[in-house]
Amino acid sequence: MEKKIKIAIYPGSFDPITNGHVDIINRASNLFDKLIITVASNNTKKALLSIDRRVDILNKTFSNKANIEIDYFNGLLVDYAIRKNVFTIVRGLRTLSDFEYEFRMAIINRNLDKRIETIFLMTDEKYSHISSSSIKEIYNLNGDINQFVPKTVSKTLCNLKNEKNNK
């Protein structure tokens, strides 16, 4: 019998991507033949980075990983999964409040399409305190974010600050 290629989607805002996301991505890319990281572009959270910038950062961060594809989507994740014909979703879990939200989303997504399975990876404790929103807060208050994010994020945010200061 022909061997099926196992593909998963890791969706998120990634505004910006943190070392916590990178850890989940590295672990998931070891579990699946291919991992599609896809930026959700219709999130209601106030965005720091444009979708283009987020996609660019992801491309640069994972350029050395042959089994990772970067993409973005509008609308429902379930519709994106159907378009891609990939029904395994990866999500990361940090706290109990993550669990409550993710539990609801996983059930809703399965109600929308029975083929969807959501797989959860527990954060490494090193990253359990890191969130994109805390990075945004530190950045907006001129704090040092270097230890929490990949180098490309630090560089992009530094350029963004310079662009703003030069306006």
Catalytic machinery residues: 21, 45, 94, 132
Q: Which residue is nearest to ligand ADP (CB)?
A: 20
71 binds ligand ADP (CB under 6 A): no
Convert 90-127 to b/e letters by CB count within 10 Å (16 or more is b): bbbbbeeebeeebeeebeebbeeeeebebeebebeeeb
Convert 50-79 to b/e letters by CB count within 10 Å (16 or more is b): ebebbbebbeebbeeeeebbbebbeeebbe
Question: Where in 93-152 is the site for ligand ADP (CB under 6 A)?
Answer: 94, 98, 123, 127, 130-132
Q: How far is the CB of 142 from ligand ADP (least distance, A)?
A: 22
40 binds ligand ADP (CB under 6 A): yes
Burial class (CB in 10 A: 0-12, 13-18, 19+), 82: middle
Decide whether 14 or 87 has the Cβ nearer to ligand ADP: 14
Which region among 46-54, 86-94, 110-118, 156-164 touches ligand ADP (by CB under 6 A)?
86-94
| Chain contacts with ligand ADP (rule: CB under 6 A) | 12-14, 18, 20-21, 24, 40, 43, 91-92, 94, 98, 123, 127, 130-132
